[in-house]
Amino acid sequence: MPNPAKATLPPGVSAQDFQAAIKEFQNIVGSDFVFAEPERLVSYSKIMIPDDVSLHQPSGAVAPASVEEIQAILKVANRYRIPLWVISTGKNLGYGSAAPATAGQVVLDLKRMNRILEVDAEMGTALVEPGVTYLQLKQYLDERNIPLWISFPSSGPIAGPVGNTLDRGVGYNRYGEHFANFCGLEVVLADGLVVRTATGDVKGNNTWQSYRWGYGPWVDGLFSQSNFGIVTKMGLWLMHKPEASKGFLVGWNDDEGMAKGVDVARKLNLNGVIENGVIGHSMYHIGQIKKRSEIYNGPGAIPLAEVKRICNAEGLGIWGFICTLYGTEEQIAVNLKIAQEAFKSTGGQMLIEGMPEIKNTPFEHWNKNMTGQPTLTEFGLYNYRGGGGSAWFAPLVQCKGSEMLKQLALVRPVLEEFGFDHLAGLLISGRHMEHVVDILFDRNDRDELKRAHDCFAKLIDVFTAAGYGLYRTSTGFMEQAAKAYGPAQRDLNHRLKRALDPNGIIAPGKSGIA
């Protein structure tokens, strides 16, 4: 049993009640899958975000293997008022990892629920549990020669589709907007009721992973970025492997060219010529392959003129748009010609897959992402400064070049004020983009950690004042980010929380919902 004198107890829960709850959890899942000793909680306590570890220290962790065990755990948690922070694979790197939003929660770790329950190759669908990783799903498809591609985020090999989709994460092929490409959930509510959304509870149905809407109100969205229930199964739409694919890169050496590229990409996307696309700053690529000390040793953020020099020394412009076309050879030839003509007006240089000049660019990594091949390439970013600190600042931006220039004018001065570099990318989804900025810092340097925290907080304030909300954020800034969305939304969220989880036991603090 844990020593209550050393444990971080749940708020308002006595050491005696906590020990009693831990004992009941052990009876449900077995003692090997209940963790309450500090030394066994290390993997649930590590964070990369700019916050003090003590603010996110769990009181314990429990790893069920079934829906029935989750129901039993919820019964105990309700009785003792034990808050449960729910994770799937716990690899939400740069957003909080596996640690809870507030100290004292018991992590409900769903890693043991890792079955791929069904894949329909003809329909391009899968039904999975929350512990399934993207790599596991890819290996399942490869071993059975199923011609389907998965869409995954940058942490693809170790992250999982259920957690990433619920957090509205983004991938890179034609199904890259993950929350637009799932179909059907199984959810356990706080009182233990199991709900299957869409057509999941229609007896004998075969459309659970084919028709999203079901009958009556569509409730699936309630369980995204929320703490209203525990998702235990999810249907996924997977991309049929096309007959052919061909990628290309367009590079610019100034912000204005990039802005023109945004407008062209939007038009091509909305007209169905292209189906995906990411615009990356070349420093984001350089940060994956070189340490900062190898390219710059001066104080503060790297000046813009020096940034341009560094990028050009690597044979790169400062911005690059990467896209992969899918279809038949004939379709690709037509769409590539249209794209070539459209991007000419931006003044950018286009390189096409197969050209020798494309080999030393970021193209290979992103093209793999766009053709269903997970890599760990982007993890090289964590060597850029060293020290294990990473925080993703991710505001939404209308897919207009003029809007992106406005955001650059907002983000760069704040980063410069606190001494951090602008390593960023734009994830294009037709009418909107996510402007993702990785604030990299040394967590072992207390001054640098504080500067990263203050920088992130100021960025939220500055962008909120300019009318930009975040599309997701880390556990350390959920309350602040939620305020940008106004009191009415927050009030509605709190009403739903009280109705579905009156004891507030599921993930208090998630997305600013207590």
| Residue in 266, 292, 451, 472 annotated catalytic | 472
Exactly one of 175, 284, 384, 471 is catalytic; which is it?
471
The runs of H, that is alpha helices, within 91-174 are: 134-143, 161-166
- Phi, psi for residue 182 in degrees, rounded to 5: -115, 165
Is residue 58 within 8 A of residue 99, CB to CB? The reply is yes
Check 44, 95, 175, 468 and give the catalytic one.
95
Cα-to-chain-centroid distance, residue 451: 24
Q: Is 485 a catalytic residue?
A: no
Given a contact cutoff of 8 angstroms between Cβ atoms, the answer to whether 73 and 39 are in contact is no
From the list 199, 151, 51, 7, the residue with the least C-alpha distance to 509 is 51
Helices and strands (DSSP H and E) totals, the chain: 15, 19
Pairing of strands 60-62, 106-109: parallel
Q: How far apart are CA 282 and CA 286, in angstroms?
A: 6
**514/494 Cα distance (integer angstroms):** 7
In degrees rounded to 5, what are phi and psi of residue 206? -125, 25
Write out the H or E segment, with its range, that includes residue 118. strand 116-120
Evaluate whether 57 touches 49 at the Cβ level (below 8 Å). Answer: no
Distance, in Å, from the CA atom of 342 to the CA atom of 492, rounded to the nearest integer, reads 44
Q: Would you call 382 a catalytic residue per the annotation?
A: no
Q: Let me know if 472 is a catalytic residue.
A: yes
Structure tokens given for 35: 């963790």
Buried (b) or exposed (e) across 206-224, using 16+ Cβ within 10 A? eebbbebebeeeeebebbb
CB-based burial label for 337 (10 Å; 0-12, 13-18, 19+): exposed
Q: In whole angstroms, what is the distance from residue 256 CA to residue 238 CA?
A: 36
| Strand, coil or helix: 133 | coil
| Residues 473, 300, 253, 322, Cα dihedral to 10° | -30
Contact by Cβ (8 Å): 435, 395: yes
Contacts of 5 (CB under 8 A, 6+ apart): 15
Write out the two tokens for 28.
């449900």
Sign of the dihedral defined by the CA atoms of residues 201, 205, 211, 213, in that order? negative
Q: Pick from 506, 447, 509, 508: which is nearest to 481 by CA? A: 509
Catalytic residues, by residue number, are: 95, 471-472
